[in-house]
Structure 1
Amino acid sequence: MSDRNSGIEEYRGTTPVWSWLSYLQRRRVVSAVRYGLLAIVAIVVFFPVFWMFNSALRPVQTLVTTSPDIFTTNVTLENYVELFTETRFPTYLRNSIIITSGVVLLTTVLATLGGYGLARINIPRKKYFARGILFGYMFPAILLAIPMYILWSNIGMTNSFLGLMLAISARSLPFSLWLMWQFFQTVPESLEESAVVAGASRFQAFVDVALPMAKPGIIAVSIFSFSIAWGDYTFALVIMSDIDLYPITIGLESSFIPGQHTDWELLMAGASIAVIPPLLFVFFLQKYFLQGFSPGGT
């Protein structure tokens, strides 16, 4: 009997602890490890955002120290008041909203019409043409900025909202067009043909049948073009020369990092305001984006 017990103890000593856990216990361990890793990733990702807002809400005396506190009770809104009353930040914010709205509208309309045309019109080697359009998105912005500046200078489009909108739209349009082409390929053409047989014109079939079914793609293109336009730095730096026409990306740099001295409190306050419009844009459109993927979404 003692030999049998010693054998069991020896077997237990060589068997992994994992095998002695029940199925429910294993699930709990896996969940704990998973959520722990997600918490670590979330802390690493969101800590810069937290520090940005934390720096914007504290006096500059507590910010520019050798050992600033992570958490502070000395919260103030003076940085935001100064930002909106004594700097050009409201002008930069207005310019970014105007430029981004134009880019989103222009890119979404052109990508929707172009993607529908690629999906419905039979042209030779259409796939190669679509891939060639997507290839244009692979070039970095800095590689396109100089030739575009030369072209824009010759036609008098520099230092204007329209010129910057067209430049950014040219950057975001290739991928948006390819994306809408993919979405319209999933829309059955027989539905549009049925609408035409019922008396609708081709354009009415496009508006009443194809567009509602392609809503997820339209929302995705809007979000993509918004992110490209709102965060653009290269084209704005090359095309714009008037400080009153600067968007928020280069406006923050030119105003609060002028030379050796950096106004960290105003820079952080401006950056914290700059991240709010993209968050609100995605927040209000995500339900329509997800609704379009649902079985009953229209």
Structure 2
Amino acid sequence: MSADTPIGYWYQLPYQTRKKVYNWLLNLVLAVGLVIVLFPIYWMLATSFIPPEQLFSVPNPLVPTNATLESYVAVLETDVLLWYKNTVIFAAGVVTLTTVAATLGGYGLARLDIPYKKTFARVILFGYMFPPILLSIPMFIFWRQIGIINSLPGVILAQTATTLPFSLWLMWQFFQTVPYSYEESARVIGCSRFQAFYEVALPLAKPGMIAVSIFSFAIAWGAYTIPTILLTSNSKWVLTLGLYSFTQAESVLWGQIMAASTLLVLPTFFFVYYLQKYILRGFRATRI
């Protein structure tokens, strides 16, 4: 290749120089991508502090010049704290049920001699492909018949049905990475199958359980479709439904929507940020 062409000149450079240029370009691309991803979050935060009368000023400042907590005060005067409490109960219930059921089911699929268990596991994962809206109407009819419509336990069970398939498949994959010889050694010294599971397999499965917990928490905290259909009373709303109460007939209270959205997003951000290493460890262990 001729050295007069750009490509030829590039390969004439020393390897260390090319490596530095490549790393610099890679970091530049990642930085641009990070700015694109984070800018909507920054704009949400900035808008929540802009005075309502300046929201539609031209040009709209990227940095609030007269920052105010007026939107947050207006939000706290609504039922947002009640919705926040409902969201916490809802997310905690989904995380608990999903983690317990996925752990027990994944262990059973990995350790018990069940006919066609691989086919069964793949069918369960296939159920995760269906959007929640397809399940919401049948759930509404069934939940109304058994009397748990418009209740937090009812919506927790419904949301768990959407997070369990992938979580069960994840824990099944994770338990296959835990050597069965450890449990056999425990059985030799007199432990029952449950004791071997509880004292040997369960501690080794903690990274997978944490990954499942974070996954189900992120899904439940931002859930909208199923709560919209199953929760009909304002007192039972979660925060994602409460956001629409700031939409009026002739206007949208953007400052209050952004303030409420900030209150909704921040817990998830910090929760995932501090536990991200467990997510990566769990996914790496299951080769995802």
Distance 1:98 1:68, change over 3 A: same
2:230 maps to what in 1?
Answer: 239
The separation in 2 between residues aligned to 1:284 and 1:37, in whole angstroms, is: 25
1:265 maps to what in 2?
Answer: 255
1:106 partner letter: L
Say whether residues 1:151 and 2:142 are aligned partners: yes
Distance 1:49 1:293, change over 3 A: closer
1:56 maps to what in 2?
Answer: 48
Aligned partners of 1:233 and 1:250 also within 8 Å? yes
Say whether residues 1:178 and 2:169 are aligned partners: yes
Distance 1:107 1:214, change over 3 A: same
Task: Give the paired residue count.
Answer: 283
Shift of 1:260: 2.8
Which of 83, 94, 99 is equivalent to 2:90? 99
Which consecutive unaligned segments of at least 5 residues does structure 1 have? 1-10
2:215 maps to what in 1?
Answer: 224
Which of 9, 26, 29 is equivalent to 1:17? 9
1:236 partner letter: P
Shift of 1:126: 1.0
1:285 maps to what in 2?
Answer: 275
2:130 maps to what in 1?
Answer: 139
SS at match of 1:46: helix
2:156 maps to what in 1?
Answer: 165
Instruction: Indicate the percent of aligned positions where both proteins have the same amino acid.
Output: 51
Aligned partners of 2:211 and 2:282 also within 8 Å? no
Instruction: Identify the range of structure 1 (14-23 vs 274-283) with the bigger mean alpha-carbon deviation.
Output: 14-23
1:202 maps to what in 2?
Answer: 193
SS at match of 1:71: coil
Aligned partners of 1:213 and 1:292 also within 8 Å? no
Which of 47, 69, 89 is equivalent to 2:39? 47
Structure 1 residues 122-169: Cα deviation after superposition (integer angstroms, max 9, x where no partner):
111111111111111111110000011000011111100000000000
Instruction: Identify the range of structure 1 (204-213 vs 280-289) with the bigger mean alpha-carbon deviation.
Output: 280-289
Which consecutive unaligned segments of at least 5 residues does structure 2 have? none
Which of 104, 113, 119 is equivalent to 1:128? 119
The separation in 2 between residues aligned to 1:125 and 1:172, in whole angstroms, is: 23
2:105 maps to what in 1?
Answer: 114
2:71 partner letter: N
2:20 partner letter: R
Aligned partners of 1:215 and 1:289 also within 8 Å? no
Distance 1:103 1:12, change over 3 A: closer
1:6 maps to what in 2?
Answer: none
Aligned partners of 2:214 and 2:279 also within 8 Å? no
Shift of 1:287: 4.5
2:141 partner letter: I
Aligned partners of 2:128 and 2:165 also within 8 Å? yes
Structure 1 residues 41-83: Cα deviation after superposition (integer angstroms, max 9, x where no partner):
1111111001000001111112122431112321112221222
The separation in 2 between residues aligned to 1:262 and 1:197, in whole angstroms, is: 67
The separation in 2 between residues aligned to 1:271 and 1:61, in whole angstroms, is: 20
Aligned partners of 1:159 and 1:241 also within 8 Å? yes
1:261 partner letter: S
Give the superposed CA RMSD.
1.9
Distance 1:183 1:252, change over 3 A: same
Distance 1:233 1:57, change over 3 A: same
Q: What TM-score results when the alignment is normalised by the length of structure 1?
A: 0.90
